[in-house]
Amino acid sequence: MHRSKFTLSDDTEEFEGYTDDSLWHGWANVCFTKEQVIEFLKSTPYDFTFGTNKLTQTETLNIYWTLEEAEQFLSTPLPTDDGEVLVGYFLEELEFMEVEK
């Protein structure tokens, strides 16, 4: 996966992340490192925490879209074009557009 910059479909603020150029319903499929996802989420009104999934023992990202309910995103290996394997998070269902290739 290569590093690039992205915006949400209704915003101009740019965020760094990784992509393999695949799409999800026409939107960029973005994977963020922990540091990148923290930077992105700090720009939103949503609360978030990190934890551990008891079943898989992998790190999770919990985003509170509402006060009552969090959506859990499991961490995943993120292989980069320069040979590193980082810990990443795919934020599915968000409308990201790639602005820099």
**80-95: pLDDT as tens digits:** 999 999 999 998 888 9
Whether the CA torsion 43, 47, 48, 49 is positive or negative: it is: positive
Confidence of residue 101 (pLDDT cuts 50, 70, 90): low
Backbone angles phi, psi at 62, to 5 degrees: -115, 115
**pLDDT number for residue 66:** 84
**61-82: pLDDT as tens digits:** 999 988 788 899 999 999 999 9
Residue 11 pairs in a beta bridge with none
- CA-nearest of 71, 94, 72 to 17 is 94
Is residue 52 a contact partner of residue 58, using CB atoms and an 8 Å limit?
Answer: yes
**11-41: pLDDT as tens digits:** 899 999 999 999 989 999 999 999 999 999 9
Is residue 94 a contact partner of residue 2, using CB atoms and an 8 Å limit?
Answer: no
